C-alpha cells in the first residue's frame, strides 16, 4: 500500500466563486507536478474534500457569497485536518487575517491580484511543507517501530542492534535537520510580518530590524537564558504589529501632537499587538513583552502603569532599543552616539531603565557607525563601491547600502557579507518586487585600523 501512496500526485484545491479566476489558476498550475482541483463555492469545496482524499493544500477566497472563506476553511479542517490552508483576499485586512488564522487554521494569506511567480512559489512551498509533515510523521512511526524492534533484538542479536542503532541515529539526525528547517521557516515568518508592519509608515522602515538586533545583543550581554533571548527577538521584530490599521497620519505625529481621539487610538496599539499574535501559542510570551514595551520606568507608561523591575526585563530592553532607534532615525551620519545618549540621560529612571544605558551605548556605537564604507577609527584600502545587478553578485562582496524592494521593504542591511543563499534570495526579490537600482557593494581587500 505504501508504494501506491508514493506514486500519487499531491492535490491542491482552489475555491473561488469566480469561474474566470479558477480557469486562470488551472492555466497557471497546469505544468506543476501536482493535481489541481477547483470548486466555485465553499459547499462544493467541502464536497470535493469528502469525495477526494489526500488534499494537501487548500486555497480559498475570503469573500464569497454564502459560505465565507473563513467558514469554509474552518469546516475543511474536519475533512482534511492535515492540509495547509491559505486565504486569498482582495484587501489588506488584519482582522480578517487574524480570524482566518484563528478559526480557519490558515498559515498565510495572499492578496488579489497576485503576482504569478509569487503565487507559484507560495503553493510550491506549501506542497513541500505538506510533504515534509507527512515525511516527519512517517519517520516518527518508523523510529517508534524500530525502537520496539531494538528491544526484542537486544536479547540475542547484539550485532544487529548496533547496526540498527546507527540507522536510527542517522534518521534522528535527518529529523532534527528537518525540524530545524521548520524553525527557520518560523523565524522567516516573523521577519515577513515585521516587514508588513513597515508598510504602515515611512518612519518604521528598518525600525523593527534595528530594535531586534540591539535588543538581542544587550540580552546576550546580560546572560539571559537562550529561550528568553529568542522571545525578546520575536517581540522586538513584532513590537509595532498593533500599529497595522492605524492611519499613517496618526503614526507620523509625536504623542504630544495627537488629538484626544487620536491619542486613544494610538494607546491601544500595544494591547492590539499582543492580541494579534496571541492565537499563536509559541508567541504568547513575546506578546506579553509587546504589551509592556511602552511602560515607563516611573510607572507613567501604558497600558498597565507598571513600575521599575515590575516591567519584564525583555520589555525594558525593547523599550530602550525602540527609543534609541527613533532618536537616531534615518540620519545616522548626522548625529553622534554622545549626543543621543546625552538626551537619553535626561530620561533615565523616568522613561528608561538606567541599568541598561552602558550596554546600549556600546552596541549603538557598533550598530550605527561600524559601516563597511565608513569604519569608525579606520579606513578601507583597495575598496571601491560598485552598483551591480543581482545576476553579477558573487560571494564575499559586502553590501554597502541598505537594499530595499520596489515597494520600500528592507531586503538586506548594509554590512551584510554575501554568500550563495543571500544572493539567491536577492535575485528572487528583484524578480518579485524589483527596485529601481542595483545592489551597491564593495570588495574589501585590506583595512588599516
Is the pTM here over 0.75, yes or no? no
Q: What is the pLDDT of residue 173?
A: 79
Q: What is the pLDDT of residue 139?
A: 92
Which residue ranges form the domains of the chain, and what is each CATH number?
Answer: 11-135 (3.40.50.2300), 201-368 (1.10.3210.10), 385-442 (3.90.105)
Average pLDDT over residues 294-314: 94
Q: What is the pLDDT of residue 108?
A: 78
Average pLDDT over residues 81-95: 78
Query: Per residue, what are the HEC states of the chain?
Result: CHHHHHCCCEEEEEECCCHHHHHHHHHHCCCCCEEEEEECCHHHHHHHHHHCCCEEEEEEECCCCCCCHHHHHHHHHHHCCCCEEEEEECCCCHHHHHHHHHCCCEEEEEECCCCHHHHHHHHHHHHHHHHHHHHHHHHHHHHHHHHHHHHHHCCCCHHHHHHHHHHHHHHHHHHHHHHHHHHHHHHHHHHHHHHHHHCCCHHHCCHHHHHHHHHHHHHHHCCCCHHHHHHHHHHHHHCCHHHCCCCHHHHCCCHHHCCHHHHHHHHCHHHHHHHHHCCCHHHHHHHHHHHHCCCCCCCCCCCCCCCHHHCCHHHHHHHHHHHHHHHHCCCHHHCCHHHHHHHHHHHECCCECHHHHHHHHHHHHHHHHCECCECCCCEEECCCCEEECHHHCCCCCEECCCEECCCCCEEECCCCECCHHHHHHHHHHHHHCCCCCCEEEECCCEEEC
Average pLDDT over residues 389-407: 86
Q: What is the pLDDT of residue 39?
A: 94
Q: Is the pLDDT of residue 194 over 90?
A: no
Q: What is the pLDDT of residue 339?
A: 83
Lowest mean pLDDT among 54-68, 230-244, 382-396: 382-396
- Sorting pLDDT into bands at 50, 70 and 90, what band is 434? confident
Q: Is the pLDDT of residue 427 over 60?
A: yes
Q: What is the pLDDT of residue 382?
A: 42
Q: Which has the higher per-residue pLDDT, 190 or 300?
A: 300
Q: What is the pLDDT of residue 376?
A: 36
Average pLDDT over residues 251-268: 86
Average pLDDT over residues 96-105: 65
Q: Which has the higher per-residue pLDDT, 288 or 433?
A: 288
Q: Is the pLDDT of residue 104 over 70?
A: no
Amino acid at each position: 500500500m505504501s508504494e501506491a501512496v508514493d506514486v500519487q500526485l499531491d492535490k491542491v484545491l482552489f475555491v473561488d466563486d469566480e469561474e474566470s479566476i479558477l480557469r486562470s489558476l488551472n492555466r497557471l498550475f497546469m505544468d506543476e507536478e501536482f493535481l489541481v482541483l477547483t470548486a466555485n463555492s465553499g459547499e462544493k469545496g467541502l464536497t470535493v474534500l469528502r469525495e477526494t482524499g489526500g488534499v494537501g493544500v487548500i486555497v480559498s477566497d475570503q469573500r464569497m457569497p454564502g459560505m465565507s472563506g473563513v467558514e469554509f476553511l474552518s469546516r475543511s479542517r474536519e475533512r482534511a485536518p492535515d492540509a495547509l490552508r491559505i486565504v486569498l483576499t482582495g484587501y489588506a485586512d488584519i482582522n480578517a487575517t487574524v480570524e482566518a488564522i484563528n478559526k480557519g487554521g490558515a498559515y498565510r494569506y495572499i492578496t488579489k491580484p497576485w503576482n504569478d511567480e509569487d503565487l507559484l512559489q507560495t503553493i510550491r512551498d506549501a506542497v513541500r511543507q505538506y510533504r515534509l509533515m507527512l515525511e516527519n510523521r512517517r519517520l516518527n512511526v518508523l523510529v517508534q517501530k524500530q525502537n520496539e524492534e531494538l528491544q526484542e533484538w537486544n536479547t540475542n542479536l547484539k550485532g544487529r542492534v548496533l547496526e540498527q542503532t546507527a540507522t536510527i541515529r542517522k534518521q534522528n539526525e535527518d529529523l532534527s535537520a528537518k525540524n530545524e528547517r521548520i524553525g527557520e521557516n518560523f523565524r522567516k515568518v516573523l521577519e515577513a510580518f515585521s516587514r508588513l508592519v513597515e508598510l504602515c509608515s515611512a518612519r518604521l522602515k528598518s525600525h523593527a530590524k534595528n530594535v531586534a538586533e540591539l535588543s538581542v545583543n544587550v540580552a546576550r550581554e546580560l546572560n539571559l537564558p537562550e529561550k528568553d533571548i529568542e522571545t525578546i527577538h520575536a517581540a522586538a521584530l513584532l513590537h509595532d504589529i498593533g500599529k497595522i490599521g492605524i492611519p499613517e497620519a496618526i503614526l507620523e505625529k509625536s504623542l504630544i501632537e495627537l488629538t484626544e481621539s487620536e491619542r486613544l487610538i494610538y494607546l491601544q496599539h500595544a494591547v492590539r499587538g499582543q492580541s494579534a499574535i496571541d492565537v499563536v501559542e509559541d508567541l504568547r510570551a513575546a506578546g506579553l513583552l509587546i504589551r509592556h514595551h511602552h511602560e515607563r520606568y516611573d510607572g507613567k507608561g501604558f497600558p498597565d502603569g507598571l513600575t521599575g523591575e515590575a516591567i519584564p526585563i525583555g520589555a525594558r530592553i525593547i523599550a530602550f532599543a525602540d527609543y534609541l532607534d527613533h532618536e537616531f532615525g534615518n540620519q545616522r551620519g548626522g548625529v553622534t552616539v554622545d549626543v543621543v545618549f546625552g538626551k537619553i540621560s535626561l530620561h533615565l529612571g523616568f522613561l528608561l531603565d538606567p541599568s541598561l544605558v552602558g550596554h546600549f551605548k556600546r552596541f549603538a556605537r557598533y550598530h550605527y557607525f561600524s559601516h563597511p564604507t565608513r569604519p569608525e577609527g579606520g579606513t578601507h584600502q583597495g575598496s571601491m563601491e560598485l552598483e551591480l545587478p543581482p545576476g553579477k553578485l558573487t560571494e564575499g562582496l559586502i553590501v554597502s547600502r541598505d537594499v530595499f524592494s520596489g515597494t520600500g521593504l528592507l531586503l538586506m542591511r548594509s554590512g551584510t557579507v554575501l554568500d550563495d543563499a543571500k544572493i539567491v534570495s536577492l535575485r528572487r526579490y528583484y524578480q518579485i518586487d524589483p527596485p529601481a537600482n542595483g545592489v551597491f557593494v564593495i570588495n574589501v581587500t585590506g583595512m588599516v585600523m
